[in-house]
Amino acid sequence: NPGPACYRRGGPLAVTDANVMLGKIHPRYFPSVFGPDGNLPLDKNIIVEKFTQLAQDIQNATGNTRTPEQVAAGFIAIAVENMANAIKKISLQRGYDVTQYVLCCFGGAGGQVACLIADTLGMKKIFLHPYAGVLSAYGMGLADVRAIRESGVEQPLTQELIPQLQQLMQVLETQARSELDTPEGQREFKASNEQEIVRKVNLKYEGTNSILTIDFALDIAMMRHEFEVEHKSRYGFIQIEKTLIVESASVEIIQKMDTPEEPLITRTRPLNQPPSSVDTVQMFTANQWHNTPVYRREELQPEDKINGPAIIIEKISTIVIEPKWQANLTERNHLILQHID
């Protein structure tokens, strides 16, 4: 609160406003829940006014001439770079090559920038679940129930330490089970009896503070090997002569929850008949305006292919298919976006 300027509460320009300015969000395809009575659409007029004024301010201050839509595209470019950098922190900095992975998209606004983020990271495929717009809530409802207990150790990793670690983990397991055995815990997972127990140790080289979490094993050579593989992947080197220290140990009990089977959807339209768009709008991307078809998600069928630029409207999200991207619908109602070289 007040939210973006288009929410009719006097807010400042935000990323949502930039997407409206660029034609990636259209008020007529967005819930009309704004204004004093909560029944008005997004306010595009105030956005055009503010971006026009901002473009004029930039020209007055720097002498650089930009159109209002180019200023809005600059908003999106900065947002995309920040989100891509966040992904790099949990992947590239840990030794993972993101170009070999699929980008999983979630959140009501995620579909508006997914293609741009994938382009920035060099990723070629994007996965969108039918509930991607509310995926956090959906996942919370289906999530396994977990109880974890951890205790400090701070001793060298030796074969003689293994019995002590086993004894410690038995104590931690008992403590974790006591949490799941409460009436509140029982209500959470009464539909399922399957449990998984995960035992981990946090290891580090002597004299360092950088710990790595690995699976506990009775064989210290196996644990050292797993630690070295992870250390090499993350830091690019290992120190064979260094003593390994067990910083702490943990036990996690996972109570498996029943997950409903996702239904299959069938195709009723002939394969040679493509989906019909419900509208054609103007969308600004790649520094120019494009005639862009708009599709409704519920009208798509398995094996439909939609080439960008395009917009797919659904009840919980707006999905923007950028140029050089193609959307494919699977029989599980998943959208797979693939980069077209």
pLDDT digits (tens, 9 = 90+) for 1-51: 899 999 999 999 999 999 999 999 999 999 999 998 999 999 999 999 999
pLDDT digits (tens, 9 = 90+) for 220-258: 999 999 999 999 998 999 999 999 999 999 999 998 887
- pLDDT band of 207, cuts 50, 70, 90: very high
Taking phi first (over 0 means left), then psi (-120 to 50 degrees means alpha), and beta for anything else, what does residue 122 get? left
Q: CA-to-CA distance for 131 and 333, rounded, in angstroms?
A: 10
What is the identity of the amino acid at 42? L
Q: Is 228 helix (H, G, I), strand (E, B) or coil?
A: helix
Neighbours of 173 (CB within 10 A): 17
Q: What is the mean pLDDT of the chain?
A: 92
> What's the mean pLDDT in 52-66?
96
pLDDT digits (tens, 9 = 90+) for 102-116: 999 999 999 999 999
Give me the pLDDT at residue 191, please: 47
> What's the mean pLDDT in 55-81?
96
pLDDT digits (tens, 9 = 90+) for 172-197: 999 998 888 765 555 454 445 688 89
Judging by beta carbons within 10 Å of its beta carbon (0-12, 13-18, 19+), is residue 100 exposed, middle or buried?
Answer: exposed
Tokens describing residue 190? 């009464």
Give me the pLDDT at residue 193, please: 61
Give me the pLDDT at residue 184, please: 52
> What's the mean pLDDT in 296-316?
95
> What's the mean pLDDT in 298-309?
95
> What's the mean pLDDT in 200-214?
95
| Residue 265 in this model has a pLDDT that exceeds 60 | yes
Contact between residue 109 and residue 116 where contact means Cβ atoms under 8 Å apart: no
- Of 121-130, 131-140, 329-338, minimum mean pLDDT range: 131-140
pTM of the complete model: 0.77
Q: Is 285 helix (H, G, I), strand (E, B) or coil?
A: strand
Q: CA-to-CA distance for 326 and 340, rounded, in angstroms?
A: 7
Give me the pLDDT at residue 259, please: 79
Q: CA-to-CA distance for 300 and 136, rounded, in angstroms?
A: 24
